[in-house]
Structure 1
Amino acid sequence: MPNKRLSVGLFVVAGALVLAACDGSAAPDARQDAAGLDPAKCADPNFASAHTDFCVDNASVPETPAAEAATLSNGLKVRIISAKSETVDSNGYDSGPTASVLVTIATEITNTGNATFVFPTATSNVRAELLYGRNHAKATYSAIQKGGSTDLPEQLVAGGSVTITSTFTMRAGGADNVVFRFNPDNTTTDDITFTNVQTLYK
């Protein structure tokens, strides 16, 4: 005949183990597993579907060498046609006393699609951002710049091209790792990240 006390004792122990597993005490292990995931595995569709949130948070941004062109999903081809850097009198720019380098980048946008592209009415939807140095400090969009998103027309017909000029001020130093992020309409497509822009300086 089974021992009732032993059976009850085993039942209580089993119940305690189930409660311990459900009360969040196992959460640290789950978090540790998530922290140990490899973002490179997100290229595998099976892994990505099983770890959707992780892969979205760790999505890699494609990079384009500064000397090459990039084509967006909407058919716009973007390339840097010139870049220059010069030392300036920082008092002439609203960027603080340590910003003494002026970087000017001319970007050409060509509509390679079959339909007219309409640029966003909100100029803030056009991204032009310069990062530099080991930690990718953000350069200041020059307060006295000429051009920028105001260079863009309302629309660009198929086969047409337009040039936009972006001017930034940044601190001296850290100019060996310059990245330019650009997007004609960041509400519809991902940014283009041009790397090693300093190799184009003239």
Structure 2
Amino acid sequence: MDIPTIRAVIRDLIGAGSETSASTLQWAMAELMRNPAALRRAQAEVRGALAGQSRVGEESMHELPYLRRVIKETLRLHAVGPLLLPRECREPSRVLGYDVPQGAMVLVNAWAIGRDEASWGPDAEEFRPERFEEGAAAAVDFRGADFELVPFGAGRRICPGITFGLAIIELALASLLFHFDWELPGGTDELDMAEAFGITAKRKSDLWLHATVIVPPK
């Protein structure tokens, strides 16, 4: 690749990874505010693992399994790219009894897949990170190996920014939970969870929270 192409790829990687990561972070905080028990558990884990430290570092992420389950559950319910990217069928195919002609545009509904009761049970619409500690769901990954959860796609054309995006989300969410206590100014009844549908599924309204700074011991 020449230099202009490399620059374009880097711009796409950073631009796409930043916007989608910010949206996922908003959804994660919104779901935690609606579920105080999950918020308390995630916050206790972060502050316990990082006790005595003054900042959150990437080297500490492996000590935060529940935080990662919170992120996984957020991605299940709020796939930022709800229909992923369109694909073109290269040759005539037959899938589950349906004929897909050559040249047809194919869209994968990652949003619906993540909420499918056949895979996730009758509480598929509920935010419950603990589901990834139980039974078969404990082994489900979102890196393309398990088709029950495909927020980044799968196969050789899986999202190239997955590692970059996840690193941003993990560090940012851990930092927010470590350094601040959070409150909803108007209570959970006023928390609007509507989506603004588009290429990405952002929150329809901004998330307004009241933060109280917690200074960690040095």
Higher normalized helix content (fraction of residues)? 2
Q: Do both share a fold (TM > 0.5)?
A: no
Structure 1-normalised TM-score? Answer: 0.27
Structure 2-normalised TM-score? Answer: 0.25
Larger Rg: 1
- Structure with the larger RCO, 1 or 2 (CA within 8 Å, 6+ apart): 2
